[in-house]
Chains A and B, each alone.
Chain A
Amino acid sequence: MSVDLATVKRVARLARLAVSEEDANRMVGELNGILGFVEQLSEVDVTGVEPMTSVTPMDMRKRHDDVTDGNKADDVVANAPSTDRNFFLVPKVVE
C-alpha cells in the first residue's frame, strides 16, 4: 500500500495538522518509505494468533468510584492560553 498527495492531505486533516503544499509533497515520500518498511509484517503467518492487548498478564485494578480530588479549578486552568472566570476560551463554534 502506498499513499499519494491527496491521501496525505486527508490524513493531515484527520490529524488536525495544517500542512503546506511543500510539506505534503515531502511527506508523501517519507510516509511511503516508512510504509514500505513496515510492509514486511504482511509476510508473517498470524493464523490463530491473538492480538496483544497487555504485555503483562494482569487484571486491571479497579478503585471505588469515590471522589478523591477536586476544588482545583484555578489549577486546572492555570496553564491555559486563554480563560475567563475558570472557563477555557475558544473561538466561536456556534452561530
Chain B
Amino acid sequence: MTELTSLTIAEARDKLKAKDFTAVDLTKAYLDAIEAANGVFNAYVTVTPEKALDMAKASDTRRASGTVGALEGIPLGIKDLFATEDVHTQACSHILDGFKPKYESTVTQNLWDDGAVMLGKLNMDEFAMGSSNETSFYGPVINPWKAEGSNQQLVPGGSSGGSAAAVAAHLCAGATATDTGGSIRQPAAFTGTVGIKPTYGRCSRWGTVAFASSLDQAGPIARDVRDAAILLKSMASVDAKDTTSVDLPIPDYEAALGQSVKGMKIGIPREYRVDGMPEDIEKLWQKGIAYLKDAGAEIVDITLPHTKYALPAYYIVAPAEASSNLARYDGVRYGLRVDGKDIVDMYEKTRAAGFGTEVKRRIMIGTYVLSAGYYDAYYLQAQKVRTLIKRDFEQAFHAGVDAILTPATPSSAFGIADENLANDPVAMYLNDIFTVTVNMAGLPGIAVPAGLDDKGLPLGLQLIGKPFEEETLFRTAYVIEQAAGKFTPAKWW
C-alpha cells in the first residue's frame, strides 16, 4: 500500500469512501509524519494529536451512520491566524502569549462542519507581515525544496510559510492560509503547491486575526488544483458575523476542472515584465502562454498602467490599517503584559516586548501616515491610486479578457537569513510585486506551479480573474497543471 500521507485530498476522499482505511488511520499517518519531520521544518507551532484523533473517530462514526461531509475525515493544518477554540492562536506573535480563544473562526468551523480533522496550528510570519516566514516569534520554517547539489536551507515564502511547507512535505493533506499582499500565492509558488486567494468577501474574516481589513482574505494551499477547489468550496460562506462577506452562491469549483478553455481570452500585461527579472521567470511565463494557446485560448496583450504604484500604495494602506487593528494589543484583555509605573508605561512596555521588529516597523509607518497633517498626502493619495489600479483591471475585463496570466513571484525561493533582504525592508517587500495588485483590487488570484528553474526549484504562474469568477481560475489553472505536471520535492528529511 502507498503511504497514506502521499494521497491528495481527492484520492483520500475516494479511498475513505471505499473503506480502504479509516479517518483514524489517515490521521495517525499524518501525526506520525509530523512527529518525525516537524523538528526539521518547524512548520507546526502546535500539534493537537488528541483533538485530531477525537475528530477522526467522530468522523468514522458519522461515516458508519451514513453522514458524509465534503471533507469527511481529511486531516488539515490551520494557519495560526485562525481562531480555534481552546487551542493556541497567536498569529505567531509573542504579544498573544498564551491566547486560547473561546470561539472558533467561521472558516475553520465550516471545515469541521464538513467533516475535516485538525492536526494543529501552522507557523507564519508574525501577524502575517512578511514574505519569508522569518518574522515569526517561533522561528523560521524550512522549505522542503533544496537547490540541486546544495544543502542551503531555503525559506518557504510567507506569510503562510508553515502552510506551504506542511503541504509540500506531506505533513497535512491541505492547509488554510491567508493573503493580504501575496501571503498565499508567493509561498505556494516557492513550494510547488497550489494556492488561491479568492475574491475579497468570498470567505468570512470572522475569527481571523486582523492585519489589514480591506485586503485580508482567507484561502487554501493544496497539493494540486483539484484539492484547492475542494477546500475553497468548504471554506467559503456568507456570514452574519462579517458584513463584508458576500451573499452569492458558492459554485462547485471542482466541476470546473476539465472544462475547455477554448476561445477564452487570456491577457498578458506588459507592465509585469520588470527590470532584472530572472530569465527563468520569463521562460516560464512563455511556457504558460504556450500551454494555454495549445489548449485553444486566445492570447492578447493588455496594459495595466498603474501596476508599478500598487506596491507603494500597499505599503501605505496595509500599515495604516494594521496600526489601527493592532492597537487592541494593550496587555489588558489578552496575551502578554509587562508591568509599568503607570498604565501608559504598561502599554508601551507590553507592546515593545510583544511585537517583533517588522510588526513595529509597520505600526510606525501606519501611525505616521495617518497622523495629523500627513493623512491627505499619504493615505488619501494611496486610496485614490487604488481606485486607478482597480480601474485598470476593469478596463481589461471590459475589453473581453477572461483571465490574466502573470508570473507569481520575481524569483524562486531564497536562502534563510539572506543578508541583503534582512538589511533592506523594501527589497523584501518587492517579493509581492506581482501579487499585491490583486489584493488592492479585491480580485481572485491563483498560483499554480508550472516548472522548475535552473537550480531545480519550483516556480509558479499566477492567474487573475474577475470578481467571484474563481471557477475560471480553477479551470485555467487545471489546464496549466495538466500540461506542466505536478512538482514534489525529493525527500531528504
How does the 8 Å CB contact mask read for A4-39 relative to B, with 1 for contact and 0 for none?
Answer: 000110011111111100000001001101110111
In the bound complex, what is the Cα–Cα distance between A13 and B364 (angstroms)?
10
Contact of B351 among A1, A18, A55 (CB under 8 A): A18
Does B335 contact A18, Cβ atoms closer than 8 Å?
Answer: no
Please judge, given known A-B contacts A8-B364, A16-B348, A55-B441, whether A72 and B102 are in contact too, CB under 8 Å.
yes
Does A79 contact B98, Cβ atoms closer than 8 Å?
Answer: yes
B306 to chain A, nearest CB (A): 7
Contact of A17 among B100, B342, B364, B365 (CB under 8 A): B364
Contact of A56 among B103, B201, B360 (CB under 8 A): B201
Please judge, given known A-B contacts A37-B312, A38-B312, whether A81 and B335 are in contact too, CB under 8 Å.
yes
Does A27 contact B364, Cβ atoms closer than 8 Å?
Answer: yes
Does B381 contact A41, Cβ atoms closer than 8 Å?
Answer: yes
In the bound complex, what is the Cα–Cα distance between A1 and B443 (angstroms)?
32
The residues of A that contact B415 with a CB separation of less than 8 Å are none
Does A37 contact B426, Cβ atoms closer than 8 Å?
Answer: yes
For A81, give the chain B residue with the smallest CB separation.
Answer: B337
In the bound complex, what is the Cα–Cα distance between A27 and B316 (angstroms)?
17
For A3, give the chain B residue with the smallest CB separation.
Answer: B368
Q: Tell yes or no: B424 within 8 A of A by CB.
A: yes
Q: Tell yes or no: B188 within 8 A of A by CB.
A: no
The residues of B that contact A46 with a CB separation of less than 8 Å are 381, 384-385, 388
For A78, give the chain B residue with the smallest CB separation.
Answer: B102
A21 to chain B, nearest CB (A): 13
Q: Tell yes or no: B189 within 8 A of A by CB.
A: no
B215 to chain A, nearest CB (A): 8
Contact of B333 among A12, A80, A92 (CB under 8 A): A80
Contact of A16 among B102, B306, B351, B385 (CB under 8 A): B351
Does B385 contact A41, Cβ atoms closer than 8 Å?
Answer: yes
**Residues of A in contact, count (CB < 8 Å):** 54
Segment 37-53 of A: residues with Cβ below 8 Å from B:
37-42, 44, 46, 49-53
Give the segment of B29-37, B68-76, B370-378 that binds chain A.
Answer: B370-378
Segment 329-358 of B: residues with Cβ below 8 Å from A:
330-337, 339-349, 351-352, 355
Does A44 contact B306, Cβ atoms closer than 8 Å?
Answer: yes
In the bound complex, what is the Cα–Cα distance between A1 and B383 (angstroms)?
19
Does B384 contact A49, Cβ atoms closer than 8 Å?
Answer: yes
Contact of B426 among A34, A54, A76 (CB under 8 A): A34
Most B CB within 10 A of own CB, among A34, A40, A56, A58: A34
Please judge, given known A-B contacts A18-B348, A60-B243, A82-B337, whether A11 and B367 are in contact too, CB under 8 Å.
yes
The residues of B that contact A56 with a CB separation of less than 8 Å are 199-201, 244, 246, 442, 467
Does B346 contact A38, Cβ atoms closer than 8 Å?
Answer: no
For B352, give the chain A residue with the smallest CB separation.
Answer: A18
The residues of A that contact B349 with a CB separation of less than 8 Å are 18
Segment 367-425 of B: residues with Cβ below 8 Å from A:
367-368, 371, 374, 377-378, 380-388, 390, 424-425
The residues of A that contact B371 with a CB separation of less than 8 Å are 11, 14
Q: Tell yes or no: B247 within 8 A of A by CB.
A: yes
In the bound complex, what is the Cα–Cα distance between A86 and B472 (angstroms)?
51
Please judge, given known A-B contacts A16-B347, A75-B102, whether A41 and B316 are in contact too, CB under 8 Å.
yes
Does B384 contact A51, Cβ atoms closer than 8 Å?
Answer: yes
B316 to chain A, nearest CB (A): 6
In the bound complex, what is the Cα–Cα distance between A16 and B360 (angstroms)?
10
The residues of A that contact B345 with a CB separation of less than 8 Å are 18
The residues of B that contact A19 with a CB separation of less than 8 Å are 352
Most A CB within 10 A of own CB, among B309, B336, B342, B365: B365
A93 to chain B, nearest CB (A): 5
Segment 69-95 of A: residues with Cβ below 8 Å from B:
72, 75-82, 88, 90-93
A22 to chain B, nearest CB (A): 12
Segment 275-299 of B: residues with Cβ below 8 Å from A:
none
Does B382 contact A17, Cβ atoms closer than 8 Å?
Answer: no
Does B243 contact A17, Cβ atoms closer than 8 Å?
Answer: no
Show 29 residue pairs from A and B whose CB-CB distance is below 8 angstroms, ordered by the A residue: A14-B371, A16-B348, A17-B360, A17-B363, A18-B352, A27-B364, A34-B361, A34-B365, A37-B429, A40-B309, A41-B316, A41-B381, A44-B384, A46-B381, A46-B384, A49-B388, A50-B387, A54-B244, A60-B243, A61-B240, A77-B333, A78-B100, A79-B100, A79-B334, A80-B334, A81-B334, A88-B332, A90-B332, A91-B339
Known: A72-B102, A79-B333. 4 other contacts (CB 8 A): A27-B361, A34-B365, A44-B381, A52-B390
Interface on B for A, CB 8 Å cutoff?
98-103, 199-201, 214, 240, 243-244, 246-247, 306, 308-309, 312-313, 315-316, 323, 327, 330-337, 339-349, 351-352, 355, 360-361, 363-365, 367-368, 371, 374, 377-378, 380-388, 390, 424-426, 429, 441-442, 467
